[in-house]
Amino acid sequence: MAWKAVARAALHTMGGLGAMRLANRRKFRVLAFHSFSEASRANVDAICAHITSHFEPLSLSDMVDAVKRGVALPDNALTITVDDGYKNYALYGHPIFRRHRIPITVFAVAGFAAGRLWLWPDQIEFGLEHTAQTSIAIKLGAAEAVEMPVSSSEQKADSLSRLTEMLKVVPNQQRLIFMEGFGSLCGVAIPASPPPHRAAMNWDELRAVAAEGVEIGCHTESHPILTRLESQAELEREIKGAKQTLEESLSLPIRHFCYPNGKSPDINTTVVNSVRDAGFDSAVTCFWGLNSNAVEPMRIQRLPFDSALEFAYAIELLAGLHL
């Protein structure tokens, strides 16, 4: 709408964003990125230039240590996190963040980095992208089958979103069984390893970025929805076991955890206690917002970023809008 365009222009040209940064200066920001590409490099570079001009980049460890000690952080403190540990971070994201001297924490999925698996939402995307069928019938447990059209790229994108959300709320074992038969359902052979644009950083690549200042955190063993696991033993394997795998493989301390999906239904007291008992100093969520120094270190909020996020929207989000 025209009035929105006028209001946005005024916000950007008449000091509105600066006023918002001033009002929110005592809160710290934790950005959540996932994937990067060659095409998004210029946009990420512009966002980083804005960050270094208007914010105080710190490491996640420095932020968490200050919160635990009750020490005030610098005004407009900010750090960046990257979920999943895709190889495209090393190719397209890391050189930009390093040039701007912005601290990064990469949350690696232990089994993904080790080459034992690739992420299940990416497998769904692969199956839908390559299917020759016009629709697929999705049946989960005793529920009635849901017919999903997949004859166009738009329908495939919609079905990807719907199916992924459906699988997030079923018991984990049910999701695993469904994924075993998903390739046959689509008439597609799901390869054992991901395509290049969905590949993980391996141990050598994680060690290389860590040697250049990147903190490595833990994003579980296999990226399940933790509240959908059926036993405490599974929960410990995904949290404590993944931490041990990362520490042994990288010879680094792993201090920080990232909840898969990270929304309210995905995190409960049992999950939080398991993360704390595993020895993590903090955990980040996908509750979107800014953090005060009173934040619970096991429930740190973040801001939803993407490497292709529109620059104007990105700097508004950084200032404290859209929350």
Instruction: Please write the tens of the pLDDT for every residue from 26-76.
Output: 999 999 999 999 999 999 999 999 999 999 999 999 999 999 999 999 999
Give Rg (Cα) of the chain: 20
- Which pLDDT tens digit goes with each residue over 248-261? 999 999 999 999 99
Q: Confidence class of residue 142 from pLDDT cuts 50, 70 and 90? A: confident
DSSP line for 248-281: HHHTS---EEE-SS-SGGG--HHHHHHHHHTT-S
List strand residue ranges (DSSP E) for 114-153, in order: 135-138, 146-149
The Cα–Cα gap between 217 and 257 comes to 6
pLDDT at 188 over 70: yes
Would you say 234 and 175 are in contact if contact means Cβ atoms under 8 Å apart? no
SS3 135: strand
Q: Which of 320, 287, 308, 262 is nearest to 83 (CA)?
A: 262
Crossing angle (nearest 10°) for helices 2-13 and 311-319: 60
Look at residue 143 in the predicted model and tell me its pLDDT: 80
Amino acid residing at 237: R
Q: Confidence class of residue 122 from pLDDT cuts 50, 70 and 90? A: very high
Q: What does DSSP say about strands 29-33 and 300-304: parallel, antiparallel, or unpaired?
A: parallel
Look at residue 3 in the predicted model and tell me its pLDDT: 64
pLDDT at 94 over 70: yes
- Range 208-236 average pLDDT: 98
Distances (CA, A) of 19 to 73, 130, 321: 19, 49, 12
- Which pLDDT tens digit goes with each residue over 10-29? 678 778 899 999 999 999 99
Query: What percentage of residues in the chain have a pLDDT greater than 90?
Result: 93
Which CATH homologous superfamily contains domain 18-116+198-319? Glycoside hydrolase/deacetylase (3.20.20.370)
Distances (CA, A) of 10 to 18, 25, 55, 321: 12, 21, 22, 14
The Cα–Cα gap between 320 and 317 comes to 5
CA angle 183, 187, 191 (to 5 degrees): 45
Backbone φ, ψ for residue 226 (5° rounding): -65, -30
The token duo for 17 is 């964003």
Amino acid residing at 140: L
What DSSP designation does 196 have? G
Look at residue 1 in the predicted model and tell me its pLDDT: 63
Look at residue 11 in the predicted model and tell me its pLDDT: 78
The Cα–Cα gap between 302 and 282 comes to 13
What DSSP designation does 108 have? E
Look at residue 299 in the predicted model and tell me its pLDDT: 98
Q: What sign does the CA torsion over 164, 185, 122, 126 have?
A: negative
Look at residue 304 in the predicted model and tell me its pLDDT: 97
Look at residue 6 in the predicted model and tell me its pLDDT: 64
Residues 6 or more apart whose CB falls under 8 angstroms from that of 46 comprise 311
The Cα–Cα gap between 49 and 68 comes to 30
The Cα–Cα gap between 107 and 79 comes to 13
